[in-house]
Amino acid sequence: MSAAINNKSMMEWLDPNEMHEASLKWMSELKFIRDEQLFLNDLVKSYTLQLTDSAVFNESKDIIGAITDAEKEVIVLMKKVQAHENQLEIMLDQIDQLKMEKAYTETHWQLNSEMARYTVGYRELKSRLFKLVSKVMKKDKGNRLLN
């Protein structure tokens, strides 16, 4: 909990340029993830027959469901980051709006936490999918060698 408080205190000291750069970085990461999800969908389509095999069906179903959820969540995060970026004017307008500036900084901190949580979860999901597809590919290769 101390680390969370420390991160929050550090976030309050960020200037508008740093928050802008962070928002741009988040959006770039989310766009890359979105493109990557299209690749993962193609990968799943390429191995649909093997992934529906009874030996891996339940695991496939769970992972594919999680990918679908991640696709929806990335769109929500992109909208949040874009809205956050659009509100940056609050920090730059030279008008003292302490409550609004504090709310903006708080939102920035929350988005930072959401992005960290999402990216860690997404990487784990991707890893699970790659392990599953590798397993299916090895099994398929073994079946071809036997025939």
Tell me the pLDDT tens digit for each residue of 62-105: 999 999 999 999 999 999 999 999 888 777 776 777 788 888 88
pTM attached to this predicted model? 0.81
pLDDT, position 90? 74
Yes or no: say if 104 and 21 are a contact pair by the CB < 8 Å rule.
Answer: no
Nearest residue to 90 (alpha-carbon basis) of 99, 81, 77: 99
**CA 36/CA 31 separation, integer angstroms:** 9
Residue 146: pLDDT band (50, 70, 90) is low
Tell me the pLDDT tens digit for each residue of 97-141: 778 888 888 999 999 999 999 999 999 999 999 999 999 888 877
pLDDT, position 94? 67
SS (H, E, C) the chain: CHHHHHHHHHHHCCCHHHHHHHHHHHHHHHHHHHHHHHHHHHHHHHCHHHHCCCCCHHHHHHHHHHHHHHHHHHHHHHHHHHHHHHCCHHHHCCCCCHHHHHHHHHHHHHHHHHHHHHHHHHHHHHHHHHHHHHHHHHHHHHHHHHC
